[in-house]
Structure 1
Amino acid sequence: MHILSQGQHSEEEINCSISDFISTFEVGNLLRKSNANKQKGIPVMSIFRYKLANVFSRSSLYMQMKSNQFSGSFSKNTFYRFLNDPRVNWLRFTTLLALAVIRNFFKPLTSDERADVFIIDDSLYERAGYKHTQMASKVFDHVSMKFKKGFRLLTLGWSDGNSFVPINSCLLASSKVDNQLGDFAKTDNRSLAGKRRKLAVTKAPVVVLELLQYALNAGHKAKYVLFDSLFSTPNTLVKIKEMGLDSIAMIKISSRIAYGYEGQRLNIKQIYAQNKKRRGLSKYLLSVDVTVGKGTDDEPSIPARIVCVRNRSNKKDWLAIICTDMSLSESEIIRIYGKRWNIEVFFKTCKSLLKLRTECHSLSYDALTAHVAIVFTRYMYLSVYQRKDQDERTIGEIFYVLLSEMEDISFQHSMFILIEAMTESIKNVLQITDAQVDEIYKDFFFRLPEYMQDALTSNYKVA
Structure 2
Amino acid sequence: MENKNTVIDAKIGNLNELTKVLSVKEQAQEQLLAVMKALGIGKIVRNLKFEKAQGYTLASLFISLLIMRLWGKTIASATSNHFHGLCAVSKNTLYRALLNARIDWRMLLTKITLRFHAILREHQVDTDEHDTCAILDDTTFQKSGIRIEGVSKVFDHVTHNFIYGMKCLTPALSDGKSCYPIDFSLHREKGKKKDYGLTLKQRKEQFKEKRNAKNPDYARKAECDESRLEMVRRMLCHAVGHGINFKYVLADSWFTCESLIQAVRELCGGSVHYIGLAKMNPKLRYQTSKSKRPQNIHEQIVRYERTTSCYCRKYK
Shorter-chain TM-score category? 0.7 to 0.9
How far, CA to CA, are the matches of 1:120 and 1:58 in structure 2? 25
Amino acid at match of 1:93: L
C-alpha displacement of 1:208: 0.8
C-alpha displacement of 1:67: 5.0
Aligned with 2:267 (options 238, 243, 261)? 243
Counterpart mapping for 1:299-310 below 5 A: 310=311
How far, CA to CA, are the matches of 1:254 and 1:191 in structure 2? 43
C-alpha displacement of 1:61: 3.6
Partner deviation per Cα, 1:274-304 (whole Å, 9 max, x = no partner): x48556xx236xxxxxxxxxxxxxxxxxxxx
Counterpart mapping for 1:54-203 below 5 A: 54-57=68-71, 60-67=74-81, 71=85, 72-105=87-120, 108-112=124-128, 114-129=130-145, 131-176=146-191, 177-179=194-196, 181=198, 182-183=206-207, 187-203=211-227
C-alpha displacement of 1:238: 0.8
How far, CA to CA, are the matches of 1:159 and 1:257 in structure 2? 31
Percent identity between the aligned chains? 24
SS in 1 for 2:154: strand
Q: Is the 8 A contact 1:187 1:194 kept in 2?
A: yes
C-alpha displacement of 1:34: 3.8
Task: State the match for 2:32 in structure 1.
Answer: 18
How far, CA to CA, are the matches of 1:243 and 1:69 in structure 2? 46
Uncovered stretches (5+) of structure 1, i.e. residues with no partner: 1-6, 285-309, 319-463
How far, CA to CA, are the matches of 1:8 and 1:74 in structure 2? 21
How far, CA to CA, are the matches of 1:42 and 1:231 in structure 2? 42
How far, CA to CA, are the matches of 2:64 and 2:279 in structure 1? 44
Aligned residues: 281
Task: State the match for 1:263 in structure 2.
Answer: 292
Go from structure 1 to structure 2 and tell me whether the alpha carbon gap of 1:51 and 1:236 turns closer, same or farther (over 3 Å shift): same
Amino acid at match of 2:280: I
Amino acid at match of 2:140: L
Task: State the match for 1:283 in structure 2.
Answer: 309
How far, CA to CA, are the matches of 1:47 and 1:13 in structure 2? 20
Partner deviation per Cα, 1:43-101 (whole Å, 9 max, x = no partner): 21221121111235575442355457685443322211101111100011112112211
Task: State the match for 2:3 in structure 1.
Answer: none
SS in 1 for 2:222: helix
Task: State the match for 1:46 in structure 2.
Answer: 60
How far, CA to CA, are the matches of 2:208 and 2:106 in structure 1? 21
Moved more, 239-248 or 172-181: 172-181
Q: Is the 8 A contact 1:136 1:180 kept in 2?
A: no
TM-score, normalisation: structure 2 = 0.78
C-alpha displacement of 1:164: 0.8
SS in 2 for 1:108: coil
C-alpha displacement of 1:317: 2.9
Task: State the match for 2:253 in structure 1.
Answer: 229
SS in 1 for 2:315: strand
State the superposition RMSD in angstroms. 2.9
Go from structure 1 to structure 2 and tell me whether the alpha carbon gap of 1:8 and 1:217 turns closer, same or farther (over 3 Å shift): closer
How far, CA to CA, are the matches of 2:238 and 2:185 in structure 1? 12
Go from structure 1 to structure 2 and tell me whether the alpha carbon gap of 1:82 and 1:8 turns closer, same or farther (over 3 Å shift): closer
How far, CA to CA, are the matches of 2:280 and 2:98 in structure 1? 43
1:317 equivalent to 2:309? Answer no
Partner deviation per Cα, 1:386-408 (whole Å, 9 max, x = no partner): xxxxxxxxxxxxxxxxxxxxxxx
Go from structure 1 to structure 2 and tell me whether the alpha carbon gap of 1:142 and 1:49 turns closer, same or farther (over 3 Å shift): same
How far, CA to CA, are the matches of 2:77 and 2:140 in structure 1? 28
Between Structure 1 and Structure 2, the one with more helix by share is 1
Q: Which has the higher contact order (CA 8 A, sep 6+)?
A: 1
How far, CA to CA, are the matches of 1:8 and 1:194 in structure 2? 37
Amino acid at match of 1:99: L
Q: Is the 8 A contact 2:282 2:297 kept in 1?
A: yes
Aligned with 1:215 (options 227, 231, 239)? 239
How far, CA to CA, are the matches of 1:9 and 1:46 in structure 2? 23
How far, CA to CA, are the matches of 2:129 and 2:219 in structure 1? 39
Amino acid at match of 1:52: L
SS in 1 for 2:183: strand
TM-score, normalisation: structure 1 = 0.55
Q: Is the 8 A contact 2:131 2:175 kept in 1?
A: yes
Task: State the match for 1:452 in structure 2.
Answer: none
Q: Is the 8 A contact 1:140 1:146 kept in 2?
A: yes
Q: Is the 8 A contact 1:35 1:87 kept in 2?
A: no
Amino acid at match of 2:174: S
How far, CA to CA, are the matches of 1:206 and 1:115 in structure 2? 25
How far, CA to CA, are the matches of 1:147 and 1:33 in structure 2? 42
Partner deviation per Cα, 1:249-288 (whole Å, 9 max, x = no partner): 1111124543224332333244446x48556xx236xxxx
